[in-house]
Chain A
């Protein structure tokens, strides 16, 4: 078999092709990361051509989203605590949610191009390259002005940690990261799942914004202050609240007034991963639908 392949005259390209697609998993991942990195770099260089307007956009976005933080401080002019949480504790919650959303927005900003890519048929071309289409969309069209919220959110987070009296252990430090990463996953999954709708309709709907921008507004306050059905929705259905509230409890050493078991904070990354799986599932279903309609 191998010998016959070697003799076959035109097998030059096909033999190397066969080598190429029997790649090891790690190699394939490396290839994808390489392509993703290069696409991102192309996006960044393109936006850097207009450096001044880029800076203005970032600062503008920082200020606009910063108003949310101002609102928190304003509220605490009148009250000492919300649902048993002090001012800096709430700022910590807000900072986690806002920087998670900021990073997720940044990473998925390329999805804003999806309606246009589908309408123009250029999405077909992405499917024909040996790199996942989602990766190409995300990498190629990253919009850097979303850095505005990221910077603002991390600023709020650091400010809160400086003003809070946190007993630092390996676990509490880990939960700062767990909260951030889980939040990024959940918000990113929402954006990816929402973008999948353009495989069915080019009309954009604002439904999903209720869960992303609504979610960050919700997640900046302790979840125990909300009505039970809203609590359930944002803890277990769209776990924006779960991944901000529980890791924050662990960082701040606060008791869970909702009475769930003590291991709940540890569940955050798994809940986030599961939700990310659901978001990606929607995307896959969308692509399959696209493949059957060819629209």
Chain B
């Protein structure tokens, strides 16, 4: 199958200028040679096949949004070849726009001051959707994403969860073949997250829409993506299935504990930790432990700690993507030096 996205040696460098103030400063900024060059994306290549659901992950500043912006055609690469939907994304931005949907998490694609329903009817004109087809499509989308209750509310007055559902509905209104989602679940509560995920899964499964998702949320990636590309410092560290990613970093969790500092008789009681458990943080009132649930269970670990310290509160969480990526990065860096 011909790839729907093709990236070959994509590199993007930014010139970072010393910012000068005022009119003269602004004018000098235009011509300044005192620029530092930062390479945000460094010679990356990958293909995406039609129908894939790809997670594109990495810490902040890793080069995620630079890649996505290049793929949608609003950023010109410094070098490398791009083909999206069979075209050069920048030169054919308008043509691609008809077949592409984009959600930029924090930035709205809708008309801020217009009621939701008006934004959608405007979009139907922008994307040249026939009135009948639009009515049917919009009814379907607002049913699935539960938009009915706030269709007359201006976009700026929506809650984050409501707005995100609208953004996603707006991005798929014209039934795009390719959908880019930048942090679509950031800041959402559990219920809204589930709704968004379920919908995206449907879109991908039912219409074969290719989805590229960037997220900080490992849960998003695990539940949705068939493939994960991990990027850091502008380079691809991992490209494969979610399972293969998990094999690399294992499944580790973090136990955070609040400790009552006043009642501790002796300071910093010594706790014998089983092997495979790492103390990430330790202070008189707080403790963070990383463990592998396959080897040590959370209650077991908790019992060990409670025998020595008065625990007042606890929280178990998955490691976030930043920590995982940091680990992969340090592993990658190791063998390279040996070679």
Contact = CB atoms under 8 A, between A and B. Distances in A.
Contact of A131 (B15, B23, B100, B126): B126
A205 B26 contact: yes
A192 B94 CA distance: 21
B108 A294 contact: no
Contact of A125 (B23, B76, B104, B128): B104
Contacts of B113: 46
Nearest to A34: B125
Question: How big is chain A's contact interface, by range?
Answer: 35 or more
B109 interface: yes
Interface in B19-54: 21-23, 26, 29-30, 50
Contacts of B111: 42, 140
Given A125-B104, A294-B69, A13 B175 contact: yes
Given A39-B122, A203-B22, A128 B98 contact: no
Interface in B121-150: 122, 125-128
Nearest to A113: B112
B304 interface: no
Contacts, number: 97
Given A125-B107, A201-B29, A292 B177 contact: no
B23 A10 contact: no
B241 interface: no
A197 B14 CA distance: 19
B291 to A, nearest CB: 40
B128 A291 contact: no
Given A14-B177, A127-B74, A200-B29, A294 B14 contact: yes
B97 A130 contact: yes
B102 to A, nearest CB: 5
Contact of A120 (B29, B72, B107, B114): B107
B104 A200 contact: no
Interface string A117-134: 000111011011111000
B201 interface: no
Contacts of A203: 21-23, 26
Given A34-B125, A130-B98, A124 B107 contact: yes
A293 interface: yes
Interface residues of B, number: 45
Given A14-B177, A203-B22, A125 B109 contact: yes
Contact of B114 (A46, A127, A130, A288): A46
A291 B126 contact: no
Contacts of B176: 13
A124 B26 contact: no
A292 B37 CA distance: 13
A121 B128 contact: no
B108 A17 contact: no
A292 B23 CA distance: 22
A144 interface: no
Interface in B69-126: 69, 72-76, 85, 90, 93-95, 97-100, 102, 104, 106-109, 111-114, 118, 122, 125-126
Contact of B26 (A13, A122, A201): A201
A201 B127 CA distance: 32
Contacts of A128: 72-74, 93, 97, 100, 102, 109
Interface in A13-62: 13-14, 17, 20-21, 31, 34-35, 38-39, 42, 46
Contact of A130 (B29, B102, B112, B126): B126
A7 interface: no
B26 A129 contact: no
Contacts of B250: none
Contacts of A35: 122, 125-126
Interface in A66-122: 120-122
Given A10-B208, A42-B118, A128-B74, A291 B98 contact: no
Given A10-B208, A46-B113, A125 B126 contact: no
A200 B28 CA distance: 11
Contacts of B125: 34-35, 38
A294 B75 CA distance: 6
A21 B94 contact: yes
B108 A127 contact: no
A220 to B, nearest CB: 27
A207 interface: yes
B66 interface: yes
Given A21-B94, A201-B29, A294-B14, A124 B99 contact: no
Given A42-B118, A124-B74, A292-B76, A10 B126 contact: no
Contacts of B95: 17, 21, 130
Contacts of B108: 122, 125
Contacts of A140: 111
A150 to B, nearest CB: 24
22 contacts: A10-B208, A13-B175, A14-B99, A14-B177, A20-B128, A21-B98, A34-B125, A120-B107, A122-B108, A125-B109, A128-B97, A129-B97, A130-B95, A130-B126, A140-B111, A203-B26, A291-B76, A291-B90, A292-B75, A293-B14, A294-B69, A294-B75
Interface of B: 14-15, 21-23, 26, 29-30, 50, 66, 69, 72-76, 85, 90, 93-95, 97-100, 102, 104, 106-109, 111-114, 118, 122, 125-128, 175-177, 208
CB-CB nearest 4 A-B residue pairs: A21-B95, A130-B97, A201-B26, A125-B109
Interface of A: 10, 13-14, 17, 20-21, 31, 34-35, 38-39, 42, 46, 120-122, 124-125, 127-131, 140, 197, 200-201, 203, 205, 207, 288, 291-294
Given A13-B175, A17-B98, A121-B104, 9 more contacts: A13-B99, A14-B85, A42-B118, A42-B122, A125-B104, A127-B93, A130-B97, A197-B26, A200-B30
